[in-house]
Amino acid sequence: MLKYLVILLDEKSVSFCHYENPVKENKLISKEDLKAGILFAMKENLNIQFVYPSEELPKEYSEIINTIDHSDIKPISKQRADVLICNSVTEFSNNEINKEQVYVIRTKKEDFFTNLSLLKKNIFKVQRVNMVLTDIDTFSEKDFEKYKEALKELSLETEKQIGKGGFSQINILTDRIMLKQMNNCNAGAEVITLAPNGKFYVCPAFYLEDEKQSIGSLSEGVNIKNAQLYQLDHAPLCRICDSYHCKRCVWLNKKTTFELNTPSHEQCVVSHLERNAAKDLLLKTQIFDNEIKEIDYLDPFEVREQW
Amino acid sequence: MNQIKEDRRQWQDGMAKSITFIVTKDCQLACKYCYLVGKNEKERMTFEVAKQAIDYILEREEEFNEESVTWDFIGGEPFLEIELIDKICDYLKQRMFELNHHWFNSYRFNFSTNGINYDSKPVQDYIKKNITHLSIGITIDGTELKHDLNRVYKHSGKGSYKDVVKNIPLWLEQFPGAGTKVTISSADIPYIKESVLHLYSLGIKQVNINVVFEDVWKEGDDKLFEEQLMILADEIIEKEYYREYTCSFFSERLGKPLDKKLMNQNWCGAGKMLSIDAQGNFYPCTRFAQYSLRDKQALIIGNVKEGINKNLLRPFLCLDRCTQSKQECIDCEVAEGCAWCQGENYDAAKTNTIYERSTAICKMHKARVRANNYYWNKLFRKLELEGEREKFEKNKKEFNEKIC
Ligand code: SF4
Ligand code: SF4
């Protein structure tokens, strides 16, 4: 069932996830479409998340936005929002860090591995950070090794912080500790996106990849073809998996395996390295009442159901 | 139930790898039902491409670790490229031997041909050279009338029946027990009975016959189909063909409900097979090459230079019955034996996915199940009355249905 509506206020709205937004020219959503989008969300009982560009919005837009309870996703330059987006570890570290904020750090493996110390220095200053590795699909065996080590380092720091009575949530390490069931991105199942052209998309990535991939419009409503393929029970690997924190990104799935419901090997291994790091951290700290089992594979494909 | 699961697993594990070379897209015929939308005279495989593919495959013995292998040659019409094929097979044998590959003791070359140049010298030389590792299927659609309705020459439009049938005795002499494959489309329904009986009369004992998966069925086709199968059943039973001949329409493993958990396997072998085309592209099955697709883009999973992209194989290897089926099919009381083709599913799907099962054959399957029930009830009653049932059960051949 749909629960959230992401509204891209502008063609240049910041990317908050795996995809890049290459658009250079601003183009705001029309005021009519913005109002209609809000009305749609009210009638369908959806929570709205507005995604902003770095440029200021005209005053009338802010007025319309404020007619409804919502959350804001903004570039870090805006300094205040429900979620602030940075595009590298350095960008995160170079900005004034606000303790109360939730940050998304979009990063590539090189940036992440190289700037790990910088990250460790700053990440515990805030209550929550979502790390998004945008090039998971390029991870090699060597990268898996490096990633495992990096997670171990982050885990050690977290342990120390817990020792001192603090706790910062880092999605790739601590989310799994707290989860008892799947908690994925759920684009196409619980979340859809309204683009500045007045059409609905599974997520902004699908819109930016090809405008023709829309799943409906404000005038005609939402109609997702083969909607079942966005559901967990139709994902043969994910439904047997306990990397509950995994984004299970349907857009990356489509890109790497041509199927929305089937993840790549790289996606699964990365998520399992995170899961296993979480398991070790939980074992050491017992900070939550949860249990993560010992398993001997990193890719559920190896233990898939076969008949 | 567990027993059944066990049996199927053994059968699947023991499955041979099937590797298909699409050697040419040319054919002498232009069959009206041919699914090869993009047939042409230009795309022929070079030996170099075949060699690269073979090297790629044979050098990865731990990846391609099935017990045995079937090297398939298809077209268009594969025998149009018999010289190339001969060279490919020589190279295959040489490399399997040199590499001490476990397939050297367990390989087969397989052909589906229209049979027109079966008796030509190059083809016959090839057959004699490879006969111990060879299987060949010739396609005849039944009676002359039925055959020539569809299987006509490309340029003249003339029927090809006579040119094929003249080669049948030689073929059966070289491959006793060989079977033929018949594909039924809407217009063929009225000829089913006479076609199967005609093939029997030519000495062909195994008739693999199935309805096409495409959405071609008209109102009332299922009734007609059921009637045809019933008169065919009467004839097979009356004339006692069942003693020596088989027709794949009638199968004891048909028309029961399927357990959601235990009987959840995929039907089609796409992804466990591999096809290579003239450009050196790899496909999960030939049906995913552009020339066999109507509405979708080819689904290429790699090529001879860069190898197979294993991520692209994952969806195929994760496929199961229920995930791709509608609730109606999952709950179906007569689901067993209702087949599908992953390529047709992909081609017909609303979105670009192999996870949406096409159900165009639904009413045809149900008609088949009714006729099949009739057949077995009638046959078993006859055998019981004659005191022959036990003997029949003992001698009956296990029969693996081939649907593509
Ligand atoms: S780790 Fe792999 S199988 Fe598990 S939820 Fe993530 S994508 Fe799905
Ligand atoms: S599908 Fe979800 S996880 Fe993937 S890019 Fe879109 S929002 Fe992010």
Closest Cα to residue A129, out of A165, A164, A157, A149?
Answer: A157
**Residue B33 has what pLDDT?**
67
Report the half-sphere exposure of B107 (CA within 13 A, side-chain side).
20
Cite the beta strand spans of chain A per DSSP E.
4-8, 47-51, 70-75, 83-86, 102-107, 128-133, 169-170, 191-194, 200-201, 216-217, 221-222
Which ligand is closest in space to the CA of residue A295?
A: 1
Q: What is the DSSP letter of B265?
A: B
| pTM over 0.90, yes/no | yes
Residue A264 Cα, gap to closest chain B Cα (Å): 5
- Phi/psi of residue B103, nearest 5 degrees: -75, -15
Residue B13: pLDDT above 70? no
Q: Would you state the structure tokens that stand for residue B173, as one six-digit string?
A: 């002499």
> Among A3, A171, A185, which is best to mutate for testing ligand 2, by the most ligand atoms less than 8 A from CB?
A185
Give ipTM to 2 decimals. 0.95
**Residue B39 has what pLDDT?**
60
Provide the percentage of residues in chain A whose pLDDT is more than 70: 100
Report the half-sphere exposure of B387 (CA within 13 A, side-chain side).
0
B38 pLDDT band, cuts 50/70/90, is: low
Collect all residues with Cβ–Cβ distance below 8 Å to A171 and sequence separation of at least 6: A128, A129, A130, A131, A245
Please state the atom number of ligand 1 nearest to the C-alpha of residue A253. Answer: 7
What domains, with CATH codes, occur in chain B?
1-138 (3.40.50), 139-250+367-404 (no CATH), 274-360 (no CATH)
Taking the C-alpha atoms of residue A49 and residue A198, their distance in angstroms, rounded to an integer, is: 16
Single-letter code of the amino acid located at A307: W
- Phi/psi of residue A81, nearest 5 degrees: -175, 175
Taking the C-alpha atoms of residue A8 and residue A193, their distance in angstroms, rounded to an integer, is: 7
**Residue B8 has what pLDDT?**
36
* CA–centroid distance, residue A248 to ligand 2 (Å): 8
Residue A18: pLDDT above 50? yes
Which residue of B lies nearest to A232 if distances are taken between CA atoms? B323
Phi/psi-derived region of residue B59, left when phi > 0, alpha when psi is between -120 and 50, beta in every other case: alpha
Is the distance from the beta carbon of residue A19 to the nearest atom of ligand 2 less than 6 Å? yes
pLDDT tens digit sequence for B164-210? 999 999 999 999 989 998 889 898 999 999 999 999 999 999 999 99
Q: Please say whether the dihedral angle defined by the alpha carbons of residues A130, A134, A138 and A142, taken in this order, is positive or negative.
A: negative
pLDDT tens digit sequence for B83-98? 999 999 999 999 999 9
Q: Would you state the structure tokens that stand for residue A172, as one six-digit string?
A: 């790739």
Is the distance from the beta carbon of residue A254 to the nearest atom of ligand 2 less than 6 Å? no
Residue B104: pLDDT above 50? yes
- Bridge-based pairing of strands B307-308 and B302-303 is antiparallel
**Residue A137 has what pLDDT?**
97
Single-letter code of the amino acid located at B154: K
Residue B35: pLDDT above 80? no
SS3 label, residue B282:
strand
Q: Would you state the structure tokens that stand for residue A126, as one six-digit string?
A: 């805030």
The residue-averaged pLDDT of B300-328 equals 97
Taking the C-alpha atoms of residue B40 and residue B26, their distance in angstroms, rounded to an integer, is: 5
pLDDT tens digit sequence for A136-151? 999 999 999 999 999 9
**Residue B141 has what pLDDT?**
85
SS3 label, residue B402:
coil
Are the CB atoms for B167 and B178 separated by under 8 Å? no
The residue-averaged pLDDT of A23-43 equals 97
Q: Please say whether the dihedral angle defined by the alpha carbons of residues A238, A239, A242 and A247, taken in this order, is positive or negative.
A: positive
Taking the C-alpha atoms of residue B124 and residue B170, their distance in angstroms, rounded to an integer, is: 10
Question: Does the beta-carbon distance from B356 to A237 stay under 8 Å?
Answer: no
How many other β-carbons are positioned within 10 Å of the β-carbon of residue A38?
21
B286 pLDDT band, cuts 50/70/90, is: very high
How many other β-carbons are positioned within 10 Å of the β-carbon of residue A146?
15
Q: Would you state the structure tokens that stand for residue A3, as one six-digit string?
A: 């629960």
- Phi/psi of residue A287, nearest 5 degrees: -75, -25
pLDDT tens digit sequence for A246-292? 999 999 999 999 999 999 999 999 999 999 999 999 999 999 999 99
Could you tell me how many residues make up chain A?
307
Residue B12: pLDDT above 50? no
Are the CB atoms for B199 and B140 separated by under 8 Å? yes
User: Of B314, B315, B350, which has the smallest distance from its Cβ to A226's Cβ?
Assistant: B350
Are the CB atoms for A281 and A292 separated by under 8 Å? no
Residue A254 Cα, gap to closest chain B Cα (Å): 10
Residue A33: pLDDT above 80? yes
pLDDT tens digit sequence for A56-78? 999 999 999 999 999 999 999 99
Q: Write the DSSP assignment of B140-163 as a string of letters.
A: --SSHHHHHHH-BBTTT--B-HHH
Chain A residues with CB-CB distance to B319 below 8 A: 236
Q: Would you state the structure tokens that stand for residue A232, as one six-digit string?
A: 């967990």
How many other β-carbons are positioned within 10 Å of the β-carbon of residue A229?
24
Are the CB atoms for A272 and A299 separated by under 8 Å? yes
Considering only CB atoms, which residues of chain B are within 8 Å of chain A? 5, 8-9, 12, 262-265, 299, 310-312, 314-315, 317-320, 323, 349-356
pLDDT tens digit sequence for B338-393? 999 999 999 999 999 999 999 999 999 999 999 999 999 999 999 999 999 999 98
Cα-trace Rg, chain A: 19
